[in-house]
Structure 1
């Protein structure tokens, strides 16, 4: 099961670390340096865990881009009541 992301053209760096009965999976976007982590059951398999981490990274990147877009559209030079 592969998750294709149009927002991650360079792919993601994946790190999996077993911690007791769980696996911590980190996904890093090499372009923006954004890192996300998930914790999962190792019995589900590494492909599914990687897919979930990449989906989370994709969601976080989309949210970051949306926030940046909102910041650009927000009028910055509107005088407040104190400026008059």
Structure 2
């Protein structure tokens, strides 16, 4: 049985492969400030997370709506169900 994807990996995977990556904005820590750029640009600049590790991603937005946010506390992540369903319609409990 393989390793289960984390929420950040799941959001990125769906954004890149099951939705339009141009709709997503990534906000990440860069030294003492936050930078914001489109997901396709981020993937190029991060060189597959070798230059900018995924651990520096603070938030991901889809058309201005936050779909992933890392909490400032114990590193836990919170997200809306819309992050897991590009159409914004999430089923189940």
Question: What TM-score do the two structures reach when normalised by structure 1?
Answer: 0.28
Q: Name the one with the larger helix percent.
A: 1
> Which of structures 1 and 2 has the bigger CA Rg?
1
TM-score of the pair, normalised by structure 2: 0.26
